Chains A and B, each alone.
Chain A
Amino acid sequence: MSYFDLADRPLRELNAALHALPVDTNDTHWNVENPAGRHAIACGLTVPITVDLKGHVGYYCAGMNKDADVTIRGNAGVGVAENMMSGRVTVKGDASQSAGASGRGGLLVIEGNAAARCGISMKGIDIVVKGSVGPMSAFMAQKGNLVVFGDAGEALGDSLYEARLFVRGTVASLGADCVETTMGDDDRAALAAVLDEAGLADPGDFRLYASARSLYHFKVDNLDAY
């Protein structure tokens, strides 16, 4: 186990050390003290290690993560796990805007709430939020699953493509081309797989929101939606 105190050593040193690890490293667990809201902590990781951040983090923590398992024992700033490719990122507290933005794979678990634009432009990532998500979540979401145990803010899933949005609580409003739909076997299997990966039980009362696919081709008749 490696120990790194960001109160004593610069962030550049931490990220450089994490980036230098070979894929078969034995140095597989890192404890990081005093993150103190710094930006870009543990971004761009490429190897299957675990990183435990003991406090709040700033913007883009674990951005573009590949294979690593990063835990934030506090709140996360804007764009946590943005463009994540694989691996897992867990936020023990709340997450700010654009959590998991454009993520292409892996699992992001937010144990608190997520602010606006959670899952914006997501491209294959799975996101589980145990609390609620803010407005414009899953805006232009392309692929992957967003699972919200709490409520969703206004304009959920605006201009949605093929991502699935599972919400257990209330939805303030749906965005353009996002509709509530009946869960099929594939949807149930996808939800079960995400919850299983997150280590959570399915309370059985999620509702599914998906694209109506009416905006997939530009049509003059849809002018009101544009």
Chain B
Amino acid sequence: MTHRTLPRFSATFDPHTISEIQRAAATGIYDIRGGGAKRRVPHFDDLLFLGASVSRYPLEGYRERCGTDVVLGTRFAREPVRLKIPVTVAGMSFGSLSAQAKEALGRGASAMGTSTTTGDGGMTEEERGHSTTLVYQLLPSRYGMSPDDLRRADAIEVVVGQGAKPGGGGMLLGQKINERVAEMRDLPEGIDQRSACRHPDWTGPDDLEIKIEELREITDWRIPIYVKVGASRPYYDVALAVKSGADVVVLDGMQGGTAATQEVFIEHVGIPTLAAIRPAVKALEDLGMHRKVQLVVSGGIRSGADVAKALALGADAVSIGTAALIALGDNDPALEEEYRALGTTAGAYDDWHEGNDPAGITTQRPELASRLDPVLAGRRLANYLGVLTLEAQTIARACGKSHVHNLEPEDLVALTIEAAAMAGVPLAGTDWIPGRGL
């Protein structure tokens, strides 16, 4: 009998890497997909809360109040955004998402007293009608941009970048450009649509300041103006956004999703959400603007623990995108047979750009989109937002906080040296914060 060792896979050339090389060799084009970074990066899982003990008093669960309300845009706007929970729904376009999905996002967010956000493609009646608080994005493409919609928005978000692809634009493939999407974007039906990576009428922070002034003038200084950046150089980007006059900075880490971009971009450009928050907060603190310019953090928020950790590190609120789509019904195991037919499996489906989503969310095909019941899907999102809030409150009470905003870095420790350094909190069981000496 011949003795052979078991087949050994390379850690460098692992099966996924090999399949990507084979795919690239066969097609000659890079892989495009939706979603955010899938690789393991330091994240909120690497942090733990220090619950109350002899030196800290907890609050009674189910009895003692733990506030969750948040006000965004207190710096300049006459009518800041007032939310009941510190979790908002991130910008996702009509075009990348079906009209039913946009309506469901509005329904779910509104039921829980929070906001939803338009996306790259303009404002639809479905989302305006079903969103009590709607943030209107001003993007480089300016698809569907209208002063009437600016004025009927509750806030404006100037999008500089997003975590999945800081420095990149977008491409909505022709199969998702139906008649309605094409009309809203002033382009022919069925062609690929580039979303530019730079704004057409401003470059750099000095221009941005003037752009924000224009938006304020058009809206008579009534509503807040957010600036959204992808996490790459958060200290400087946040400082420059503040300098430019932003009321709110939205900071999106590399786990934040996208409708479609190159896999290599998603996995190799930008920094993790965990690594971005503390530099952003430091920028606000150095400028004396922490809590005056609010910070919204997104990118990989999944649970109330993530919400609480982001807030403890200094965010005022968080925003969810991918998790919101999952709550609506994305990647539902009940659709496994159809995912298999698409060459994937429930839990891994990310070809959102192809428009074949069996859940009816990332599609413009009427027969698929009609599968999503906006009322039921909205209810699921509301349920999920409620759970996120209850979980964050549970943790805050355990730390003795009467409001989730009272959570602080002192409540946290890290499980790994990397997370300790990134979050600026001690390694668990020590007083050591890497990078800050002994």
Contacts and interface: CB of A to CB of B under 8 A. Distances in A.
Interface in B93-144: 141-142
A88 interface: no
A60 B150 contact: no
A176 to B, nearest CB: 11
A178 B127 CA distance: 37
Interface string A32-51: 00000001100110100000
Interface string A114-146: 000100110110000000000000011011000
Contacts of A85: 146-147
Nearest to A84: B147
A15 B142 contact: no
B191 A216 contact: yes
Interface string B145-187: 1111010000000000000000000010110000000000111
* Chain B at the A interface: SS class: loop
A46 B202 contact: no
A43 B221 CA distance: 13
B28 interface: yes
B145 A83 contact: yes
B210 A40 contact: yes
A102 B217 CA distance: 19
Interface string A64-102: 101000000000001100110100000000000110011
Contacts of B200: 82, 98, 101-102, 117, 120-121, 139
Contact of B217 (A44, A46, A79, A83): A44
Contacts of A82: 200-201
Contacts of B187: 142-143, 161-162
Nearest to A163: B186
Contacts of B196: 121, 140
Contacts of B147: 44, 46, 64, 66, 83, 85
Interface string A195-226: 00000000000000000000011101000000
Closest 8 pairs (CB-CB, A-B):
A44-B218, A79-B201, A102-B142, A123-B186, A64-B147, A101-B200, A216-B191, A40-B214
Interface of B: 27-29, 141-142, 145-148, 150, 171, 173-174, 185-188, 191-192, 194, 196, 200-202, 207, 210-211, 213-214, 217-221
A43 B207 contact: no
A121 B169 CA distance: 14
A59 interface: yes
Contacts, number: 104
Contacts of A19: 220
B47 to A, nearest CB: 41
B186 A142 contact: yes
A217 B214 contact: no
26 contacts: A12-B221, A43-B214, A43-B218, A44-B150, A58-B210, A59-B211, A60-B210, A60-B211, A60-B214, A64-B150, A64-B218, A78-B202, A83-B145, A83-B147, A98-B200, A102-B200, A117-B200, A123-B186, A139-B200, A142-B186, A161-B187, A161-B188, A216-B191, A216-B192, A217-B191, A218-B192
A218 B171 CA distance: 9
B213 A39 contact: yes
Given A120-B201, A143-B186, A220-B28, 19 more contacts: A11-B217, A12-B217, A15-B220, A16-B220, A39-B214, A40-B213, A43-B218, A44-B150, A59-B207, A59-B214, A63-B218, A83-B145, A85-B147, A101-B200, A104-B186, A159-B194, A216-B174, A216-B188, A218-B171
